[in-house]
Amino acid sequence: MLPESDLRVLADSLPHIMWASRPDGFTEYVNRWVVEYTGFPAEANCGWGWLSLIHPDDADHARAAWEEASRTETFFESEYRIRRADGEFRWHAWRSLPIRGGDGQIVRWIGTATDIDERRALEESLHRSERKTAETLTLLESIQSAAPVGLGFVDRDFRYVRANDSLGAMAGCTADQMVGRTMAEVVPALWSGLEPIYRGVLATGEAALGRETLGPTAAEPDRIRHWLASCYPVRVEGEIVGVGIVVVDLTERKDAEAFRSVVMEKMAEGLYAQDDHGRLTSMNRAASQMLGWTEAELLGRRMHDVVHFQAVDGTLIPASECPMIKARGDGLPIRVEDQVFTRKDGSTFPVSYSSAPLHTGSGTGGVVVVFRDMTEARERQRREVETRHDQQLESLGRLSAGIAHEINTPIQFVGDNTRFLAEACQEMLDLLRVYRDCLNVANGEVDWDDRIARAAEAERAADIEYLTEEVPSAINQNLEGVERVASLVRAMKSFSYKDSRDRSYADVNEALTTTVTVARNEVKYVADVVLDLGELPEVLCHAGDLNQVFLNLLVNAADAMQDRPERGEIRISTRVEGPMVVVSIADNGSGIPEHLQKRIFEPFFTTKEVGKGTGQGLALARTVVDKHGGGIQVHSTPGEGTEFVLRLPIDGKRPEPK
């Protein structure tokens, strides 16, 4: 064994702190590195002075480690900071080993402390670097996952190494399904156009920016999609290892641009947009043509001051009362049917327009106005009203002979009865004079028996029993005749009245009853009319137009009976089915051949002989019923009869399809 002096020389030559202590931890020896490090003489470092050199934050830990090693009599190793002579605390790795005697008992502890401050600093730096790298990777992963654009990386064999969900969605698959597959496998329809671009990036090392690509995908082979792609060379240690991809799907934008192009250039209705101050921002071609202004001439001008500042009657509309401005302020859509716009030359034209708010961000950035020139529509409506009115008069003209007969018959017996009543009245007056003469006291020379005989003779001449029976009957017949004429006149008045543009609620059953009255003479010689009218609510409609439809169908039914050897029957029934009133007009006439049933609603189509029909009746019927939001159907069997079924919405609104 080396002598103690040699051991001290050896300990002093080691570049580590070294000490020796008693079993209880009392330091007996420190080498020269302790003296140089702490700046205190060896004596000051012996005993328990070493605890004062430990960093306050590590003191408890160091004491606990020594106590645990002393208790368990085992080797211990720990790291904590001790103060250097210049006051700096540096990290050291502490190791302590128990030395045992021949009896196995600890006779001393030998320990070392190695300066690891630089290593700890390096480890801390590496840890911070790793954490920063991990955070960066996490951020990139999050951006890649959440980005609304397609991001990916392909190697030099054009095989996908990375891809985000957006890129997968563009290709019609998931990102996981793309990784490991080549671009030719993922987007075969696009690869022929993309390959030169990618090879160029690999060959030149220069990025290819903003390349537009279009074509189908496997998920949507029948739809052409548009993309904007940029490709970047990816370098590792100066070597290009693949291509980075950034792809933006332009399909919706392209579709929107195409739609806007159609709206702005092709749409027949006028359209313009204005900002929240009512100033024009854009206008389509149709609006320009209708208004006579170019878009450039109106840009930035208030549309109320230029286009919609006056009412139909020419009076000026203050901005505070303009419905479009009010709606813009409220942020609500509106629809206006009866308004006029002013052209550049000062002339006006009727319009129907709708205005809807244009929402941008958290508020309303203006409105979009769509309008239609109603000049032709109003003229067409006027002509339709005139045509329907003319056809009503034409129908009444056709029925005029029958109507005249219907009026003449009661008028004739009213006249006969009136003449009879006049004669009866004269006879009663004559009888009254006899009675008064017989009762005259001045004729005292005539005895009462003669007077009674004279009165009885006058009564026999007047035929009192006959008059008593026939006069009330004649009066009742006259009243009935007058009522028949009055009801027919009311019905004629209903048919000859022009409907207003506004609809109103009307009794459909009453309209049918009126129609039967007007057409009675057309029907009574060929068929019996059976009315089976259910309880109906009033219907919002143009009653005059419906009267014309009912009359056309009733006259057609009567015409179908003309060639029957026996008397026919026309059954008119009504009922309610949900939101609709159903009217059925059925006859047991000749029926309609199947090959003609699809044509009977065509204008000017008729199967009647010349002079008996214009072919407009059923065409008008369909037009009227359709404008009421309803429908008309025909069910016919040749030789058995025909039924027309009309369905009319009670509230005047076409039911929503189920």
- pLDDT exceeds 90 at position 403: no
Pairing of strands 27-30, 76-83: unpaired
Per residue in 177-211, pLDDT tens? Answer: 889 899 888 888 888 888 898 898 888 989 888 88
Give mean pLDDT, residues 462-472: 75
Cα angle value 103/107/112 (rounded, 5°):
135
| Mean of pLDDT values over 366-385 | 81
Closest CA to 239 of 188, 289, 202: 202
Mean pLDDT value of segment 267-290: 87
Q: What is the percent of the chain where pLDDT is above 90?
A: 8
pLDDT at 338: 80
Confidence bin at 499 (pLDDT 50/70/90): low
User: What H or E segment, with its residue span, contains residue 490?
Assistant: helix 464-496
Q: CATH for 147-253, among 3.30.450.20, 3.40.50.2300, 3.30.70.2190, 2.60.40.10?
A: 3.30.450.20
Residue 172: per-residue pLDDT: 82
Q: How high is the pLDDT of residue 144?
A: 67
Contact predicate 94/80, CB 8 Å:
yes
Looking at residues 633-651, what average pLDDT do you find? 89
CATH match for 267-373 among 3.30.450.20, 3.40.640.10, 3.30.300.20, 1.10.10.10: 3.30.450.20
Return the DSSP state at 52.
G
**pLDDT value for 611:** 45
* Residue closest to 392 by CA, chosen among 110, 113, 214, 621: 621
Mean pLDDT of 1-12: 64
Residue 645's pLDDT is: 92
* pLDDT at residue 636, rounded to an integer: 86
Confidence bin at 321 (pLDDT 50/70/90) = confident
**Of 419, 549, 413, 398, nearest to 485 (Cα)?**
413
Q: What is the pLDDT of residue 576?
A: 93
What's the chain's Rg over C-alpha atoms? 56
Is the pLDDT confidence value at 535 over 80? yes
In which band, very low, low, confident or very high, does the pLDDT at 610 lie, cut at 50, 70 and 90?
A: very low
The angle subtended at Cα 589 by Cα 588 and Cα 590, nearest 5°, is 130
Which residues have C-beta within 8 Å of that of residue 619, sequence separation ≥ 6?
601, 602, 603, 604, 605
**CA–CA distance, 27 with 50 (Å, rounded to integer):** 8
Mean pLDDT of the 419-432 span: 77
Cα distances from 432 to residues 20, 343, 428, 444, in angstroms, run 170, 85, 6, 19
- The mean pLDDT value for 363-367 works out to 70
- Model pLDDT, residue 399: 59
Give percent of the chain above pLDDT 70: 83
**pLDDT above 60 (res 608):** no
**Angle formed by the axes of helices 400-438 and 464-496, to 10°?**
150
The three-state secondary structure class of 206 is coil
Cβ-contact 321, 339 below 8 angstroms: no
Return the CATH number of 4-115, one of 3.40.50.261, 3.30.450.20, 3.40.50.620, 3.90.190.20.
Answer: 3.30.450.20
The fold adopted by the segment(s) 499-649 is Heat Shock Protein 90 (3.30.565)
pLDDT for the residue 574: 94
Rounded-to-integer distance, Cα 224 and Cα 258, Å: 13
pLDDT range class, residue 164, cuts 50, 70, 90 = confident
What are 355-364's pLDDT values in tens digits?
888 776 555 5
Ranking 86-90, 213-217, 477-481 by mean pLDDT, the lowest is: 477-481
Dump pLDDT digits (tens) for 546-588: 888 888 888 888 887 777 778 888 899 999 999 999 999 998 8
The pair of structure tokens assigned to 251 is 């399909």
Which residues have CB under 8 Å from 597's CB, separation 6+? 634, 636
Segment 414-420 shows an average pLDDT of 72
Lowest mean pLDDT among 323-332, 423-432, 476-485, 517-526: 476-485
User: 586 - beta bridge partners?
Assistant: 571, 643
CA atoms of 491 and 489, how far apart (whole Å)? 5
Computed over every residue of the chain, the mean pLDDT equals 80
Q: For residue 643, which phi and psi values (nearest 5 degrees)? A: -130, 130
Mean pLDDT of 249-274: 79
pLDDT for residue 634: 86
Q: Which residue has the higher pLDDT, 361 or 596?
A: 596
pLDDT tens-place string over residues 76-122 = 888 889 888 888 999 988 888 888 888 888 888 888 888 888 888 88
Q: Could you give the 3-state DSSP secondary structure of residue 624? A: helix
Quick check: 246 pLDDT over 50? yes
